[in-house]
Amino acid sequence: MGVLEEVKGKRVAVLAGGQSGEREVSFRSGGGVLQVLQAAGIDAVIVDPEPNLAGQLLEIGAEVVFNALHGGAGENGTIQGVLEMLGLPYTGCGVLASALTMDKPLTQAVLRDRGLPVPDHVVISPATASSELEAAIRRLGVPVVAKPACEGSSLGVTICKSEEEALEVAGELVREYGRSLLEKFTDGTEITVGVLGWHERTRPLPVLELVPHKEFYDYEAKYTKGLTDLICPARISEQHTGEAQQLALEAHQVTGCHGISRCDMHLDSSGQIWIHDINSMPGLTETSDVPHEAEALGMSYQELVLEILASAFHR
C-alpha cells in the first residue's frame, strides 16, 4: 500500500516551530512539508507544540504526525515519547535514537565503541576546573572547536584560534549552555550524507560537499541563500564517496535512527573521514542539505517528503 492510501481520510499534524533556537528554521521546514502534503490531497495542518501537546493533537483529531521540529524537545526524544504514549504514527527517529543523537559526546562515544572514526574531544561543564580546561586545550591543540553538547544548526559553535580564546569561549559556552565539548579541529573538505528509508529500504543519499563563504558552516551559512555552495555529488574520489556513504549508513544503524538522518563529516588532507555529528531531523528548507542530495539522485522534494511520511507506518 502506498503512503497516499495509508493516509487517506486521516489528518496529518505537521509539528513545526517549538521552543528551541531553531524555531524559525523549523517553521520553514514545516511550511514546505505542509505545501507538499496539501498539494497531494492530504488533510494536513501545522501544529506549533505547546506544553499541552497531547491536548493539541487530540483536539484537532490528529492521526499521523510529521515531525518537522529541529532541536530541543522536538529532537531529543521528549516529544517522541509523547507521541509514543498517544499511539500516533510519526516520522523520524524514536525516543532513544533522538535522545542519543542530540547529545554529541554520547553519540561520539557510541560511534567510537563501534569502531567508527570520530575526532578526539573533551567534555566540559561548569564543574570543569581551569587547570583541566587548560590541559585539555593543550592536548587537543589550536585551532580547537568549542560547541554545546546538545544543540543543532551549529548554534554556539566557535573555532578558537588560540589557547586564550579557547579558554574564554569555553567559559562563556558552559555558562550559556551547560555541558559542552572541545573538539580537535579537522581541516579539509566538509561533507554530509543523508540516509533515507526503513528496514531493507534504508540507503545513503549522494555525498554533498559544503563550501561556506564564511569561516565555517555556521547557522547563518546554513540558512541564508547564497552563503554556502552546495555541491552534489561532492568533488571527492569514488573511493571516498563510497566510504562516506557507508559510514553514514553505519552511523544511522548503530544509533538506531529511522526514516531519515544526516551524518556530518570532514575528509581531511590525509584522506581520513571523521564523523562529527548525526542529525535525527535534518532541515527540509530550500537551502537544506538533504533536499539537495535527494535532487541529485533525481528525487523531487515532493517524493522526499512523501517517503519520509511513509516511514511513519513502518517503524
pLDDT (tens digit per residue) in 8-27: 999 999 999 999 888 999 99
Q: Which residue has the higher pLDDT, 80 or 153?
A: 80
Per the structure block, which three cell numbers stand in for 44?
494536513
Q: Are residues 225 and 275 in the same domain?
A: yes
Tell how strand 228-231 and strand 208-212 pair up: antiparallel
Q: What is the number of alpha carbons within 13 Å of residue 141 lying toward its C-beta? A: 6
Helix, strand, coil percentages, rounded to 5, for the chain = 40, 20, 35
Distance CA(292)–CA(240), nearest Å, equals 19
**What's the pLDDT at 155?**
78
Q: Which residue has the higher pLDDT, 7 or 228?
A: 7
**What's the pLDDT at 156?**
84
Q: Are residues 133 and 279 in the same domain?
A: no
Q: Are residues 53 and 77 in the same domain?
A: yes
Mean pLDDT calculated for residue range 210-232: 72
CATH code at position 206: 3.30.470.20
Q: Are residues 40 and 169 in the same domain?
A: no
Distance CA(205)–CA(177), nearest Å, equals 33
Tell how strand 259-267 and strand 273-279 pair up: antiparallel
End-to-end CA separation in angstroms for the chain: 15
Q: Are 230 and 205 in contact (CB under 8 A)?
A: no
214 pLDDT above the threshold of 70: no
CATH code at position 125: 3.30.1490.20
Distance CA(196)–CA(189), nearest Å, equals 23
**What's the pLDDT at 49?**
97
Q: Using 50, 70 and 90 to split pLDDT, how confident is the model at 286?
A: confident
**What's the pLDDT at 213?**
78
Domain enclosing residue 51, as ranges: 3-91
Per the structure block, which three cell numbers stand in for 230?
552546495
Per the structure block, which three cell numbers stand in for 93?
527517529
Distance CA(17)–CA(64), nearest Å, equals 18
Q: Are 104 and 147 in contact (CB under 8 A)?
A: yes
Overall number of domains in the chain = 3
Q: 83: which residues sit within 8 A by CB, 6+ positions away? A: 65, 67, 90
Among residues 135, 159, 184, which one ends one of the domains? 184
Q: Are residues 166 and 212 in the same domain?
A: no
Q: Are residues 136 and 111 in the same domain?
A: no
CATH code at position 54: 3.40.50.20
Mean pLDDT calculated for residue range 176-189: 94
Instruction: Specify the amino acid at residue 264.
Output: D
Query: To which residue does cell 551559512 refer?
Result: 221
Mean of the per-residue pLDDT values for the chain? 94
Among residues 156, 184, 212, which one ends one of the domains? 184
221 pLDDT above the threshold of 70: no
Distance CA(20)–CA(283), nearest Å, equals 14
pLDDT > 90: percent of the chain: 88
